[in-house]
Amino acid sequence: MREIIFIVEEAPEGGFIAKSLGESIFTEADTLSELKAEIKDAVICHFEKDKHPKIVRLHFVREETFAIAV
């Protein structure tokens, strides 16, 4: 596997959560830099030695709502 993709969302209580596509990897952190470090650790732990992807792709999902006054 060359790369792995994570969906990143803002957590309701603050910080960020990340879920991988195609693998059972989930992690969370307070900041984006901490999240990247957590993802790296999780990916290395999830795969056998030297079998982990070399590239991590992050897809940020942001939910926003607003009212339309007529």
What is 3-61's CATH topology?
Double Stranded RNA Binding Domain (3.30.160)
pLDDT in tens, 2-51: 999 999 999 999 999 999 999 999 999 999 999 999 999 999 999 998 88
**Residue linked to tokens 């693998």:** 23
Count of beta carbons in the 10 Å neighbourhood of residue 4 = 21
User: Which band of pLDDT confidence, cut at 50, 70 and 90, is reported for residue 63?
Assistant: confident
Ordered by start, the domain boundaries in the chain are 3-61
Residue 60 to residue 70: CA distance in whole angstroms: 32
User: Which band of pLDDT confidence, cut at 50, 70 and 90, is reported for residue 1?
Assistant: confident
pLDDT at res. 66: 92
Residue 62 to residue 70: CA distance in whole angstroms: 26
Higher pLDDT, 1 or 70: 70
